Each structure stands twice: as C-alpha cells, then as structure tokens.
Amino acid sequence: MLTNRPRGVNDILPGDVEKWQWIERTARDVCRRFNVSEIRTPIFEHTELFTRGVGETTDIVEKEMYSFQDRGERSLTLRPEGTASAVRAFVENKMHAQPQPTKLFYIGPMFRYERPQAGRYRQFHQFGAEVIGVNDPSVDAEIIALAMTFFTELGLKNITLEINSVGSPESREVYRNVLREHLAPVKDQLCKDCQSRYDRNPMRILDCKVDACKQLIVNPPFMLDHLTEEDTTHFAQVREYLDSFGVDYKVNPRMVRGLDYYTQTAFEFIESGSTLSGGGRYNGMVQQLGGPDLSGIGFAVGIERVLIALQNQAVQVPLETGIDVFLVALGEAAQKRSVTLLQELRTTGLVADKDYLGKSMKAQMKAADRLKARQVVLLGDDELAAGIANVKNMETGEQVSVPLSELVEKLQQKL
C-alpha cells in the first residue's frame, strides 16, 4: 500500500514531463501576448470560499471536495478549481484599487473527489485565465480567443467551440420559474438530488448525469428564449466579435455549466466528445466574496485532456532532445579530470554528462548514443599527460585532437 499512489492521481515522469513543460510554455507565451499576468494562489483555502464562490448546489461542493480539519480545527479544502481563489486574491490584495481590468492566469493542480476514468482524475491540472473589472462583450470574445489561440498554437485541430448565455440573475429568476413549471409533472420521478435542486436551483437538473433524469427531461425550455434585452444584446455582441475574429462556434442552448457562478456568456471547447475547457462570465462573484461590484470572465483548460487530444491527433510535440557533450574517460587520472571538466562545461552553458561507474570505453560510447550526445570528448590518461583530448562529432563521425586548454571554447563553437 505504502508504495502505491492513491486512486485518481498520477506521476508525471521524465519523457512525459517535457510535454507538460511545452504546454505550460505555450500557455505562458500566449498569455504574455494577451498581456495577462500569472497569479499563484495557495493549494488549500478556507472551505467557505468554495461553498460560497462555486455554489452550494454544484456537484463540486455537494460531493467532490477534499475538505479536512487542520490542527487548529479550521475547515480547509484542497482547491477544486481556480476562479474562486483568483477572485479571493483579487479582493484580499485590493487589486480593485488599481485601474481595471485585471487580467490573471494560473497553472496548477486541482482536486476533486470524482470517479476516476480516462481523462478524469482526483488530482488534475488546469491552465486558466480571468479578466476582472470590465463587462464589455469584446472581453468575452477576447478571453475565448485566448483559449482558441492556445489550442491552435499547440497544433490541435477540429476543436468545437460551443457558446450559450445563461443570463443575468434577472433573466434567471424568470427562467427558473418557467423551468419549474415545465418539470413539475415529472418532479416526483426525478432523482433525489434533482428533487432538491428543483427548489434550490432547477437549472442544475438539466445537467444531471442520471439516465432516468435525462430521459424525463424532454424539450426543456431554453434560457436563451428568456433573456432580458440587455443579456440578449450582450450575447449578440459577443457573437459579432467572434465572427469578426473568424472564430467558429456553435450556439448550444442546452449548455449549463457545472458551476453556479456563471452569468451571461458560457462556453466550452470540445474535442472528440471530450470537454477540454469550460468557462464563462461570473459577474456576481467579486461582490459575493466581499469586493466591489465588478464583473469577471474566465476559462479553465484541463491539461490532462489536452495531452489526450494531442495524442489522439498525433501532434508531434517539439521536444528538445539530446545533450551537447558526453565525456568518455578512461584511466584513473582522466576520470578525475573529467569530473572538473564536466563542471566547467556546465558552467559555460553546455548540456553535458558523463559515466559515473568506471565502465568500458564501449559501454561509455553506448551511453553517449543513448543520451543522443552531439559531441563526445574522449580522454585517456595518455591524452591527459599530453594535454589534449579527442573530440568526436557524433553526426559526422569526424574526430579531431584538441588541446585541453582550448577544449571548452572549441566545444562551444561546434554548437
């Protein structure tokens, strides 16, 4: 048991971790161009942040949080998502006192007690971005375009963008009653959770994963048909901007995002039936978490899902492979000298390695091949005594003799 990892969490090993680094680099690079700054928030927060921020009637809060009491008997929770933390940090650090908008991104692990399966884990990773403080529809389009640019730069194709408007609280008030009326005849046949959602938050019922509920909910009324004029205009303008960017999308009036905080624009990016990313506007949250009445919009991308999509689409990940120099030393004195030489090479910026086990020349050359060394330095006791080393170019096979005093410089020139 001690040597097994818990269910639903993964090790990311060398060989794979380079792909993660590339994805994270791409995310940082795209955010830089959109002038979005990184924020790093704690892995755990007060439980109340999520019950209030994410919403009491969400699956996350009802069933999926990793909550625990610390030794001071505070209830803490491993963060299940990044938006509530980002908004908490925005309010707590009085970022609203700065000129708006505030544009933030984060990359890091999230925790949800879900049933593990392919693409669904208990510790997973998200890259997310948030724009707080501007309610203009062009910002909705911009944040969607940021996510789309990220996918495009990773080389992913055939990503479907679905958008919807889930309305402002005023629109929702009206719609909730329309929905309750529609569902009233089947209310008693819905699952226990949905029966409780019926009173508390009937929109959640449309998102229920229970088959019996899915079958009972036929032709529900759509939020889109009950929007206030302001919400309708906002949604139309978001679509216009997306059109002007040349970003393709599908309006999906059935989309209900799994988090309570969304208002107006909601969207998802889907690849081969798997949701890579979800997001939307959350205009009430800043105020709900104790800040001024400022709007917000953001998305979160699941990095594990992105990796699966890259694999499905056989995208060649541009990885740096190989090392600049491998040192092959034979004989006691040469071995000793190679230790200091290795340190010199590394401090001048070369990627270098050597054998540590006193292996034969043949075995050391094999190691150089395995590490895809571009150059090999061959140093024996005789060469050392003569003040030279042999340098072999592994691509051409060409070998030259170089004075030790010029070795580092010569190796650098070859690159």
Q: Should residue 151 be labelled a site residue for ligand AMP when binding is judged by CB under 6 A?
A: no
- Inter-CA distances, 116 with 8, 120, 123, Å: 5, 5, 10
The nearer residue to ligand AMP, 281 or 305, going by C-beta atoms, is: 305
Q: Does 106 bind ligand AMP (CB under 6 A)?
A: no
Q: Report the 10 Å Cβ neighbour count for 363.
A: 12
Under rule CB under 6 A, residue 302 binds ligand AMP: yes
The least distance separating ligand AMP from the CB of residue 13, rounded to whole angstroms, comes to 18
> Known binder of ligand: residue 81?
yes
Position 354 contacts ligand AMP (CB under 6 A): no
Task: Determine if 102 is a binding residue for ligand AMP (CB under 6 A).
Answer: no
Q: Is residue 338 near ligand AMP by the rule CB under 6 A?
A: no
Please list every residue from 71 through 90 that binds ligand AMP, using CB under 6 A.
Answer: 81
Interface mask (CB under 6 A) for ligand AMP, residues 240-259, using x and -? ------------------x-
Binding of ligand AMP at residue 121 (CB under 6 A)? yes
**Which member of 239, 305, 337, 392 binds ligand AMP (CB under 6 A)?**
305
The residue range among 296-304, 327-335, 346-354, 385-393 that interacts with ligand AMP, by the rule CB under 6 A, is: 296-304
Q: Does 23 bind ligand AMP (CB under 6 A)?
A: no
**Contact flag: residue 57 with ligand AMP (CB under 6 A):** no
Per-residue DSSP letter, 136? -
Residue 164: CB partners within 8 Å, gap ≥ 6?
A: 223, 224, 251, 252, 253, 254, 255, 265, 266, 267
Query: Does the protein bind ligand AMP through residue 207 (CB under 6 A)?
Result: no
The one segment of 157-165, 298-306, 318-326, 375-383 that binds ligand AMP by CB under 6 A: 298-306
Distance of CA 278 to CAs 127, 192, 365, Å?
11, 27, 50
Query: 325 - beta bridge partners?
Result: 352, 375
Return d(Cα 124, Cα 121) in angstroms, integer: 6
The answer to the question of whether 82 is labelled as a binding residue is yes
Q: Are 64 and 80 in contact (CB under 8 A)?
A: yes
Q: Does 107 bind ligand AMP (CB under 6 A)?
A: no
Using a 10 angstrom Cβ sphere, with 0-12 exposed, 13-18 middle and 19 or more buried, the burial of residue 395 is exposed
**How many other CB atoms are there within 10 angstroms of residue 186's CB atom?**
17
Q: Note whether 271 and 309 are within 8 A (CB).
A: yes
Task: Give the chain's radius of gyration (CA, Å).
Answer: 28
Provide the 8-state DSSP code for 229. H
Q: How far apart are CA 174 and CA 211, in angstroms?
A: 27
Q: Which of 120, 180, 182, 346 binds ligand AMP (CB under 6 A)?
A: 120
Site for ligand AMP contains 65 (CB under 6 A): no
- Least Å distance, CB 218 to ligand AMP, is 26
State which residue, 149 or 277, has the beta carbon closest to ligand AMP.
Answer: 277
Binding positions for ligand AMP, 256-275, rule CB under 6 A: 258, 275
Q: Is residue 281 a contact residue for ligand AMP (CB under 6 A)?
A: no
- The answer to the question of residue 278 lying near ligand AMP (CB under 6 A) is yes
364 labelled ligand-binding: no
Contacts by 240-244 with C-beta closer than 8 Å and gap 24+? 240/137, 241/137, 241/138, 241/140, 241/141, 241/142, 242/141, 242/144, 242/145, 242/163
Instruction: Give the rounded distance of the alpha carbon of 404 from its chain centre.
Output: 47
| Count of residues touching ligand AMP (by CB under 6 A) | 17
Query: Does residue number 296 form part of the binding site for ligand AMP (CB under 6 A)?
Result: no
Nearer to ligand AMP, 274 or 288 (CB): 274
194 or 256, CB closer to ligand AMP? 256
Q: In angstroms, rounded to a whole number, what is the distance separating the alpha carbons of residues 26 and 330?
A: 43
Which H/E stretch holds residue 216? helix 211-216
**Using CB under 6 A, which of 91, 276, 289, 327 touches ligand AMP?**
276
Binding-site entries for L-histidine: 81-83, 112, 126, 130, 257, 261-262
Residues found near ligand AMP in the complex (CB under 6 A): 81, 112, 114, 119-121, 124, 126, 258, 275-278, 300, 302, 304-305
